[in-house]
Amino acid sequence: MGSWKFIAALVAGIFIIGWLADDPDAGEDGGASSASASAESAPKSEATVDEVEEEDPLEEEPKQPVARAPLRSWQVTERTSAIDDSRNVWLTVRSRERISHWLGKPSRHATLTLRCMENTTSLILNMNDNHMADIQSYGDVTFRLDSEQAFTRSLRESTDNQMLGLWSGGLSIPVIKRMFDHDQITVRATPYNQGPITVTFPAHSLREQIEPLREACHW
């Protein structure tokens, strides 16, 4: 009798287990419980895109225009004289064009230099170290300031024949002052035994940048 009760209980248990395995509702309930637990345990995310868009954006302060320094075309160099401790100042500007060299050296820019050396003001033109002379009108140099009428001055050669210049303040200062408040200087010069060469130099801001030179040479 006891054996039959044991067998009946075993069969009933197997039947109940099979019924639970086939019941779909039981699985769904378990999955829902698991999903609910996962949702509760997960950290809350940041605001959604829609929520962010609904927030009032902060108004940005209008940006103020940035003040720009005036464009400068002249390179300024200062040194102290080893002879009399005076203040020496150079202002140099390069031509927009490159010019060739008569000996086949690399093409380079011409340079126009304004110089105060030991209280003497000079205007110096270098045409890429081409041979310059002041004989037979080779020293005659034509200047044009912006669209004004051109004028010609007779410059003297340097001792190494690489430059032409107005080497005294009496000759150079009047020409330099004429260059003030102009944007471009056009220069035509003729190296020795060659054809004329025309170059242009930017000249803006000369009046402001030449102040150290004028102070050094007292004019």
Per-residue pLDDT at 77 = 97
| Span 8-58, pLDDT tens digits | 555 555 555 554 555 544 444 444 444 443 444 444 444 444 444 444 444
The answer as to whether 85 is a domain residue is yes
Identify the three-state secondary structure at position 152.
strand
- Overall number of domains in the chain: 1
| pLDDT for 156 beyond 60 | yes
The answer as to whether 141 is a domain residue is yes
The answer as to whether 29 is a domain residue is no
Structural domain boundaries enclosing 174: 75-217
Distance CA 119, CA 219 (A): 10
| pLDDT for 85 beyond 50 | yes
CA distances from 175 to 163, 211, 215 (A): 17, 16, 18
The answer as to whether 105 is a domain residue is yes
